[in-house]
Amino acid sequence: MKRETFGWSFFVTVCLVIFMSVPVWGRTIKIGVIGPMNFVQGKGHWNGAVMAAEEINARGGVQVGNEKMKIELVKADSNEFLNVTDATNAMERLMTQDKVDFVVGGFRTEAVLAMQDIAMDYKKIFIGCGAASKILCDKVGENYNRYKYWFRGTPFNEYYLVATSFAHLGVAGAAIKNELNVPVKCAIVAEKATWAEGMVKAAEGTIPKMGFELSGIWRPSPVATDVTAELSAIQKSGANLIFTIFSSSVGITFARQAGELKIPAVQVGINVEAQKDGFWEATKGMGNYVFTMNTYIRGVEYNEMTKPFVEDYYKRFGEVPTYTADTHTAILQGLVPSIEAVGSLDSDKIVAHMENREYLVPSGKVKYLKDAQGRPTHELAWGPGYLTSLGGQWQDGKFVGVWPNKWKASPTAPEVTYKGMVPLKLPPWMKK
């Protein structure tokens, strides 16, 4: 008898567990989040998507016609830095095994190009949140019927990234001219990596046009642990502005040694290591006055949506969001309002709605562009009033926003200043 009672209790418990684990709501909207999950970029993808899903589900889900649907995220490790084949398998799995409705993520262009084709085969909307190559959106213009399901979520394309860097150079050059009253001599220091080649070429052509003298080009190894030779040569060249193009650990080495040697020049450009919260400790405070492009900076607000997002993210994950965390934006401000507006999960209807929208996101305003022939490219608009990114500078242990601060993209363009901006500071040892 006792045995029978135990058997029944066990059966009832199992039934209860099964019943409780089945969601109380009906169908869910499945969103695949694909990225290199063992790397900081993939973690950003996942964290951003988790925040968006929780926010939507907390308010009851997405209104799809007459039905309320919750968001269900499916994590897919693309491993794309190490293996492109792996990335395509992960995408195929999302499409056919997990049967997701939409996909966000991707980082390495070569992998994203291959994944893009798979998503397009299944006519699933894929919002890219990492790769900056223009070619991804060019395909939409060239073959709209096939590639219309691709949208750029973040960042804006490589050409705009370069344009932003030059705007930063212009700000620093103007500060040197105004405060020191000396001509600007600019050195280009780019890590020896393929992605930097185009930027070096563009900088070589543009710097003289900006009225600066080009004092030389230096190409240290991306993983160099000593750059004193380059720094001595830069100092000898008389450069007072250094255009940095770093994505690897050399960014720390260069900033630290330049600070230790008190090289009389301000570093401006892209230094991915300087975008991280641990940069100050990594350079032992020697990275002071390093200026780099970034998407989010604590205390800087593009609009009223920025602060809640950045602070919530910081509270939840203990760090400032990187741009790949804009999966949050892609889901919350991109996909969901369009799903609700068309009242369906039909990709074609959502595409038609999404490509014509203009909407605010925590990093500015999204508008999808058309090419010269008027064909939609699903490329993000860059410039005043839209997406611009930020220029941040390390000032006495704090990463602060310094650009755009009374920035005018052209003489007739409106002036742009975001809330929380502070003036750019030149290293004090430049003034001696």
The yes or no reply on residue 139 touching other proteins (CB under 8 A) is: yes
Residue 49 in the binding site for other proteins (CB under 8 A): no
Cα–Cα distance measured from residue 382 to residue 367, given in angstroms and rounded to the nearest whole number: 9
The answer to whether 93 contacts other proteins (rule: CB under 8 A) is yes
Helix (H, G, I), strand (E, B) or coil at 44: helix
Least distance (Å) between residue 118 CB and other proteins:
9
Among 6, 14, 67, 96, binds other proteins (CB under 8 A): 96
Counting contacts by CB under 8 A, is residue 117 touching other proteins? yes
Integer CA distances (angstroms), 41 to 38, 238, 323, 338, 427, in order: 8, 37, 8, 26, 31
Q: Assess 161 for contact with other proteins (CB under 8 A).
A: no
Given 27, 28, 54, 113, the residue binding other proteins (CB under 8 A): 113
* C-alpha closest to that of 105 among 85, 91, 92: 91
Collapsing DSSP to helix, strand or coil, 196 comes out as helix
CB of 139 to other proteins, least distance (A): 8
The dihedral region occupied by 116, where left means phi > 0, alpha psi between -120 and 50, and beta the remainder, is alpha
Within 14-43, the residues that bind other proteins by CB under 8 A are: 37-38
HSE-CB at 134 with a 13 A cutoff on CA atoms is 9
- For residue 213, state whether it binds other proteins (rule: CB under 8 A): no
Among 110, 226, 304, 346, binds other proteins (CB under 8 A): 110
90 near other proteins, rule: CB under 8 A: yes
d(CA 103, CA 110): 17
Residue 26 C-beta-side C-alpha neighbours within 13 Å = 8
Per rule CB under 8 A, is residue 375 in the interface with other proteins?
no
The binder of other proteins chosen from 43, 45, 75, 367 (CB under 8 A): 75
The one segment of 92-100, 165-173, 242-250, 278-286 that binds other proteins by CB under 8 A: 92-100
Measured CA distances, 52 to 45, 73, 309, 345, 419 (Å) = 11, 10, 10, 18, 24
User: Which residues of the chain form contacts with other proteins (CB under 8 A)?
Assistant: 37-38, 75, 77, 79, 82-86, 88-90, 92-93, 95-97, 109-111, 113-114, 117, 133, 135, 139, 194-195, 197
